[in-house]
Amino acid sequence: MNLRTTVALALSRLVAARTRSLLTMLGVIIGVASLLALTSIASGATSGITGSLNALGATTVTVTGSGPTALTEADAAALRGTPDVTRVATTVSGRGDVVHDGETEQLSLVGVDAEYEAVQKPALSVGRFLPGFPGGAEASTVVLSTAAANALHVTAEDVGQPLTVEGRVFTLVGVLDDATGFTTSGTAYVPIAAARDLFAQTPYVTSVLLAATSTDAVDGVQADADAILRARYGLGPDDSASFAITNPASVISTIGTVQSLLSLLLGGIASISVLVGGIGIMNIMLVSVRERTREIGVRRAIGARRGQILTQFLVEAVVLSVAGGLIGIVVGIALSAVVAAIGGWALTISPVTVLLAVLFSVLVGVVFGVVPARTASRLQVVDALRFE
């Protein structure tokens, strides 16, 4: 009996016991689906976060004070002399009640100066951003994030209408497009002069934003800014500072490292499920060998060689494992697509992960199919024929 006949016989056996075959494959299906879905979700979530950081400005270096009085306007002025910096913006932050049509929400309040829009380039859903000049009616304008607008039930028709921020009447001039990654929290942006009247102390600022000339210059700007501020406060290179300096590139790099470790961890956990499925295959195949002992004896008596018996049972184990792996891949992709749609990030399926899942399924079938196959091939003809 040739290999093709042996394979056909093995497949016919699995189809004849299709319910048991499906239940046997279940462990591999769950393991492969988990492996693919978990790694895809980790990769997709990381891509979404990275896209959000890029949307915030890949060339922006942010200096943040550790407390409300850690940074001053004088610090911001000193940082304007940093090499390779084109613009410098300042912000002050707090929290306060915002009221619209009887709806009251406590939001993050961010006061921004005239340079802020040029540095951060916020995308708007409707309306415009805050004016680039102080004074007059423009000093009492406000822009909401999408999350804040939704919380206050603000619509596009409300742009140009009044709302109250900490008891003071402001005019809503725009709503941000949170989908660009600019903000995902309930935030209201007001001119920095208005923020100082509401909650901020002069001359302190919450953060200073430095726009570098290019992404290549970001690390240099970060180092220069750190040196300037340490010199202002008489701090050494190793002294603890009351400010932190970050840039999206370093954050993206850190997130990438975390994502790699997370994918490895999740992949390892999912692989355990595949191994458990392999043990299930071995168990069922051993039961099958016992059930088919007389059949094996008859085949050996009419001339079947040990190698053919071994091949048949090994093929059955590999087919069970590979079929489970293929079904698991389909289920894993479907789960990844659903989670990606809910999370709002792009579906990310690595061809390498799919290939590894297939190869792992084959390996599981071979490794856990060898023992039952050898057991079947080593049965003595006389003992097998006498088996009841």
Concatenating the DSSP letter of every residue in 297-344 gives: HHHHHTT--HHHHHHHHHHHHHHHHHHHHHHHHHHHHHHHHHHHHHHT
- Give yes or no: residues 31 and 99 share one domain: no
- Tokens 């002025």 correspond to 77
- Give yes or no: residues 78 and 200 share one domain: yes
Confidence (pLDDT) at 160:
92
Q: Which two tokens stand for residue 132?
A: 């680039």
Distances (CA, A) of 337 to 323, 329, 349: 21, 12, 9
Overall pTM surpassing 0.85 (yes/no): no
List phi, psi (to 5°) of 23. Answer: -65, -35
Q: Is 59 a member of any domain?
A: no
Question: How confident is the model over 3-58, as pLDDT tens digits?
Answer: 677 677 767 877 777 788 888 888 888 888 888 888 888 777 777 666 665 555 57
Which element (helix H / strand E) includes 231?
helix 218-232
Q: Is 145 a member of any domain?
A: yes
Confidence (pLDDT) at 48:
67
- Give yes or no: residues 201 and 270 share one domain: no
Angstrom distance (rounded) from CA 388 to CA 369: 24
Stretches where the chain sits below pLDDT 50 are: none
User: Are 74 and 233 a contacting pair, CB within 8 Å?
Assistant: no
Angstrom distance (rounded) from CA 24 to CA 320: 7
Q: Is 62 a member of any domain?
A: no
- Give yes or no: residues 39 and 73 share one domain: no
* Domain boundary pick from 185, 211, 241: 241
Confidence (pLDDT) at 351:
85
User: Are 209 and 112 a contacting pair, CB within 8 Å?
Assistant: no
Q: Is 371 a member of any domain?
A: yes
User: Are 25 and 323 a contacting pair, CB within 8 Å?
Assistant: yes
Question: How confident is the model over 79-100, as pLDDT tens digits?
Answer: 998 999 999 999 999 999 999 9
- Give yes or no: residues 33 and 172 share one domain: no
**What's the mean per-residue pLDDT of the chain?**
83
First to last CA, the chain: 26
Q: Is 98 a member of any domain?
A: yes
User: Are 380 and 329 a contacting pair, CB within 8 Å?
Assistant: no
The DSSP letter of residue 305 is -
Confidence (pLDDT) at 133:
58
Q: Which two tokens stand for residue 314?
A: 């090994």
Greatest C-alpha distance within the chain? 105
Confidence (pLDDT) at 322:
85
Range of the domain at 220: 67-241
Q: Is 71 a member of any domain?
A: yes
Q: At a CB cut-off of 8 Å and minimum separation 6, what does 86 contact?
A: 211, 212, 213
* Domain boundary pick from 192, 217, 241: 241
One-letter amino acid of 364: V
Confidence (pLDDT) at 345:
74
- Give yes or no: residues 21 and 81 share one domain: no
Q: At a CB cut-off of 8 Å and minimum separation 6, what does 303 contact?
A: none
Of 64, 59, 69, 75, give the one whose Cα is nearest residue 244: 64
Confidence (pLDDT) at 269:
74
Confidence (pLDDT) at 246:
87
Structural domain count, the chain? 2
Angstrom distance (rounded) from CA 41 to CA 371: 36
Confidence (pLDDT) at 155:
92
Q: At a CB cut-off of 8 Å and minimum separation 6, what does 24 contact?
A: 280, 281, 284, 320, 324
Confidence (pLDDT) at 93:
94
